[in-house]
Amino acid sequence: MRTGMRTVIFDLDGTLADTSGDLIAAANTCFRQMGAGDMLSAEQDAGTALRGGKAMLRLGLERMAHDDIEAQIEVYYPHLLTAYGTAIDVHTTLYPGAMQAVQALSTAGYKVGICTNKPAGLAETLMTRLGVRQAFGSLVGADTLPVRKPDPAPLREAVLRAGGDPAASVLIGDTATDRNTAAAMGVPCILVTFGPGDHDVRALEPEGLIGHFDELPGVVQTLIG
């Protein structure tokens, strides 16, 4: 049994909230600026959206058959962040049961925090707009430290800022990035199966899988006590 202050750290995009609709809208703003139409759709490209802005730009530029994709990504990425920041919570919704699970964990004595590869300012804005920022003891973003996930340093920082013990922590996520981050720190990972990458997630063989947040407190208790 782990004896330090037990801590549960959450990824944000695709784990706590489905942010894909607003991310895709921001990317499409960039494609329109390039003189093209909307190159991405929320129905078809949610999985790409949850891998981040540059992944969306790359996919759209490939569909446009652009001849200098990487350079265009660097040019338009700041425009994407600006567009996203101005309309960050139009389509975004928290996944069912997410905040009930967070509250249950807090009530049971766990520290809770967020570790995301979204820029910290955008993550703070989104969680505040959604009315749930106060439920988390920490929020570490892509630019909080010089490195980002899958480097374990941001996860460790998120645990420490929440008041917890890194050795008694677990990361809740939805991608190989989260799986690799937890492995690099030597702690368990629980992946959600309700996101666009369901089958990919199962193939990663994390220590835990949940299909709904109702399952989370029990799986956390099994893994870290």
Which residues are part of the catalytic machinery? 11
200 — phi, psi (to 5°)? -60, -40
For the chain, what's the residue count? 225
Sequence spans of domains, the chain: 7-18+92-224, 20-86
Query: Is 115 exposed, middle or buried, given 0-12, 13-18 or 19+ CB atoms closer than 10 A?
Result: buried
Amino acid at 83: A
pLDDT band at 51 (very low <50, low <70, confident <90, very high): confident
- Per residue in 130-145, pLDDT tens? 999 999 999 999 999 9
Instruction: Assess contact for 194 and 95: CB atoms under 8 A.
Output: yes
* CATH T-level assignment (fold) for domain 7-18+92-224: Rossmann fold (3.40.50)
- Per residue in 82-125, pLDDT tens? 999 999 999 999 999 999 999 999 999 999 999 999 999 999 99
Q: What is the DSSP letter of 209?
A: E
Strands 111-115 and 93-94: unpaired
- Per residue in 165-214, pLDDT tens? 999 999 999 999 999 999 999 999 999 999 876 678 999 999 999 999 99
Residue appearing with tokens 């800022």: 161
Q: In what order do the strands lie in the sheet with 208-210?
A: 139-140, 111-115, 7-10, 169-173, 189-192, 208-210
pLDDT of 50: 86
